[in-house]
Structure 1
Amino acid sequence: MSAPRIGLDIGGTKIDAVVLGDGDALLARHRRPVERGADGVIASACAAVDAVTADAGVRVADAAGVGIGIPGAVRGGVVEHALNLGVERLALADVLRDRWGVPVVVENDVNVAALGAWHLQREQGASIAYLNVGTGLAAGLILDGRLWRGGRGAAGEIGYISIDPAGPVGADGLPGGLETYASGSGIALQWGRDGEGAVEVLSAARAGDESAQRIRAGLMTGVATAVRVLVLTLDVDRVMLGGGLTGLQHELVDGACSVIRGWEAASPFLASLDMGARIVLAPHGEPIAAIGAAHVEEIRG
């Protein structure tokens, strides 16, 4: 048996940890809440690794390495501006490498989710965009089997693309951004009612509220436009939808595909790209980001 791989997906509220064996066999999985602040993140990561390795019957010292996905800007193993974790700056890779004595690689959470999506698709060599439709909107990109970050790590930050200069102003102060239309935070911002978010808006839309229906239509247009941007700029083979709003399942896919079909009816070129057929939903319940984290050193770009 080859050395196991350990992957951690550190989110704003929880850690999802896995140990992978030969052939990506899932030897163990452990989930636990995450503590805020630099010390809390470190303590939570160590506790998660202790638990998941014990469940798998392996030692962290025997692992090929530990990969970690975490929100925020990540460069050289240093995490910055992970605001939902209360972390301004943390040299996470160095701290945990010293603690565990094995290689530790840290990457942005959407990027590791893209790696996991690529592995789960089993189309090695294909290109895939993992479109995270959650609290925010961003894509992780695997091009020809390599993680693509871009010149300054901003590749995939398509939530900042404006599709309507007269549209609603987002949290970044700019009007008509994709993230304002197609994310949980953007939907709540448009709705403007304290304590209510995407769940309440979509429920109101189903009940016939016209304002909520407009926001829902904007969500579908936003997701369709994100797919269009990814296909037209990168021609990826698959766009996998993940994140909290994919709880809508086929309602989200069908809504986005309906928008795409309208474009295709007007443009033979867009019709030739078969964009709707490239959309897939992330497998429900799979630890996609943790699996990707376990492989982050293997196919880094």
Structure 2
Amino acid sequence: MNTHVSSSSPPSESGSAPRSPIGQTPGDILALISSGDAVTRAEIARHTGLARSTVSQRIDALIAHGFVDEDAEAPSTGGRPPRRLALRTYGHAIAGVDIGASHCRVGLLDMGGTLIVAREDPLTIANGPEAVLGHVERTLHTLLETADGTASRTLRAIGVGVPGPVEFSTGRPVDPPIMPGWHQYPIPQFFEDRFGVRALVDNDVNVMALAEQRRAFSDTLHLLYLKVGTGIGCGIVADGRIHRGAQGSAGDIGHIRVGERDEPCRCGNSGCLEAIAGGAALAARLRAAGLEAAGSLDIVQLVMEGNHEAVRMVREAGRSVGEVLSGLVNFFNPETVVVGGALAAVHDQLLAGVREAVYRRSNPLATHVLRIEPSRIGENAGAIGAGTLALEHALSPAQVDRALTTDAAV
């Protein structure tokens, strides 16, 4: 895939070197190459207006630092065929870490954004950051040493998604309700101390939204990603960029009140969407009805077995989700709504309820071209999205220029 730079990357660190005009630094040139906008030295010279000698100097630096290959021949317009430039995807890796309430999935992406390998393990986030992140550290070392049967890859950056509010500028969780002991824990510093690379941390639904938009719905600039599992959250892509709000809490729809309902919620309020339609709430009601259901996976199994009570509850949960979503559709006017999370495995029943409520309650203009679809990325969405977040940061022009400057100074 062609990797492109997005403003979903965090702001540049203070103290960075002054930037040359757009399109003229080595980092800008790499962006042209990786996007496919210019793939020969001559094309880059025409695109940037730089002298060919300057273009060659900067491309040679990118090649020397492992960012670019110059191998295949491009089509000739007469005379000796030019050599084609391409982003070097091998030999390096980006890590994507998806930490859930009861699982951890670690994936490695190559520099082109392709998932190389992924591994999921059961893990309880309530065990605390040292235990959970220690497991991630060991898993990541193993994957780096054994990925796709080749020699060890050099890690370039790490992305992490966690199931709680995150102050994106610092990468620290803030009062996460299902993550005891994680408040203000310096997750980026944990990884930077052990791997020596930049680590970026975000809420899990944000990185899942990023994965779906970049990989499955690249023609969509305005997208909502709903994660319906133990809890319920929403990732927002606005004009192709993750929208986090002022402090990083945008999309926390699980605690929007639904009608006049009064079910108690773990947040201390009542009538919250999560307390009505979340996997934990549905499982509790199924147990009260005499069925065995510890969580979302058991609900999915019951629905797949055709249990009428489970089917009814999931469809009704879809209507409650759709009631809240209808307000978001009117307010945000997305092109696409993607539904993922554990309960999305029974999307026929869940989405039937969601669509019923959305199309009944939303403005016709807002739903005129609206798509409401199940996740296309599936179980790897969190790891791929976290890796994509880190990859776009690592390949941003400012970071590439910084890498070349730092290496030259050593």
Do both proteins adopt the same fold according to a TM-score greater than 0.5, normalized to the shorter chain?
Answer: yes
State the shift of 1:7 in Å: 0.7
CA contact (8 A) 1:30 1:51 kept: no
Secondary structure in 1 aligned to 2:197? coil
**Cα gap change, 1:177 to 1:38, in 2 (>3 Å):** closer
Quote the residue 1:33 is aligned against. 122
**Equivalent-residue separation in structure 1 for 2:249 and 2:230 (angstroms):** 18
State which of 31, 48, 66 in structure 1 corresponds to 2:139: 48
Q: For residues 187 and 262 of structure 2, what CA distance do their matches in structure 1 show? A: 39
Q: Which amino acid aligns with 1:287?
A: N
- 1:70 shift after superposition: 1.4
Aligned to 1:112: 207
Q: Any idea what SS the aligned residue of 1:23 has? A: coil
Query: Which segments of 5 or more consecutive residues in structure 1 lack a partner in the other structure?
Result: 265-269
* CA distance 1:184–1:67, shift in 2 (3 Å): same
| Paired position in structure 2 for 1:8 | 97
Asked if structure 1 preserves the Cα contact closer than 8 Å seen for 2:335 and 2:370, the reply is no
**Aligned twin of 2:32:** none
Q: How does 1:126-165 map to 2 (within 5 A)?
A: 126-165=221-260
Q: Residue 216 of structure 2 contacts residue 376 of structure 2 at CA under 8 Å; is this kept in 1?
A: no
- Describe the shift of the 1:299–1:50 C-alpha distance in structure 2 as closer, same or farther (beyond 3 A): closer
**1:242 corresponds to:** 340
Give, in angstroms, the shift of residue 278 of structure 1: 1.6
Larger radius of gyration: 2
Q: 1:240, 1:281 within 8 Å by CA — same for their partners in 2? A: yes
CA contact (8 A) 1:170 1:186 kept: no
Amino acid at match of 1:222: S
* Aligned-partner SS, 1:175: coil
Whether 1:185 aligns to 2:280 is yes
Q: Is residue 291 from structure 1 mapped to residue 380 from structure 2 by the alignment?
A: no
Shift in CA distance, 82/162, structure 1 to aligned 2, threshold 3 Å = closer
Kept in 2, the 8 Å contact 1:32–1:48? The answer is no
Note the C-alpha offset of 1:281: 0.4
Distance 1:216 1:281, change over 3 A: closer
Alignment-derived partner of residue 400 in structure 2: none
Paired with 2:326 and 2:368, the residues of 1 have a C-alpha distance of 7
Deviation per CA, 1:161-181, whole angstroms, max 9, x where unpaired?
112234433333433222222
Aligned in 2, Cα 1:55/1:285: closer, same or farther, shift over 3 Å?
farther
Matched, 1:69 2:164: no
Task: For residue 205 of structure 2, give the secondary structure of its aligned residue in structure 1.
Answer: helix
Tell me the residue number matched to 2:367.
274
Q: How far apart, in 2, do the equivalents of 1:176 and 1:151 lie?
A: 26
SS in 2 for 1:64: strand
Paired residue for 1:100?
Answer: 195
| Residue in structure 2 matching 1:17, options 95, 106, 114 | 106
Q: Structure 1 residues 251 and 174, CA, compared in 2 at 3 Å: closer, same or farther?
A: same
**Cα gap change, 1:34/1:275 in structure 2, threshold over 3 Å: closer, same or farther?**
farther
Q: Aligned pairs, how many? A: 292
Write the distance in 1 (CA, Å) between the matches of 2:242 and 2:189: 22
**1:207: Cα distance to partner?**
5.3
Give ranges in structure 2 of 5+ residues lacking alignment. Answer: 1-87, 395-410
SS at structure 1 position matched to 2:280? helix
Q: Determine helix, strand or coil for the equivalent of 1:135.
A: coil
Residue type at the aligned position of 2:248: G
Decide which of 181, 202, 206 is 1:87's aligned counterpart.
181
Say if 1:69 and 1:108, in contact at 8 Å, map to a contact too. Answer: yes
Quote the RMSD (CA, aligned, Å).
Answer: 3.1
1:267 corresponds to? none
Separation in 1, partners of 2:308, 2:196: 58
How far 1:59 sits from its partner (Å)?
4.5
Residue type of the alignment partner of 2:117? A
1:169-184 map, 5 Å? 169-184=264-279
Instruction: Out of 191-200 and 290-299, give the one that drifted further.
Output: 191-200
Give the Cα separation in 2 of the matches to 1:39 and 1:58.
29
Question: 1:288 is aligned with what amino acid?
Answer: A
Corresponding residue SS for 2:364? helix
Taking the aligned partners of 1:152 and 1:159, their CA distance within structure 2 comes to: 17
TM-score, length basis structure 1? 0.83
What do residues 87-145 of structure 1 show as CA deviations (whole Å, max 9, x unaligned)?
33321111210110111111111211111111222415612111011111110111112
| Distance in 1 (alpha carbons) for counterparts of 2:312 and 2:111 | 49
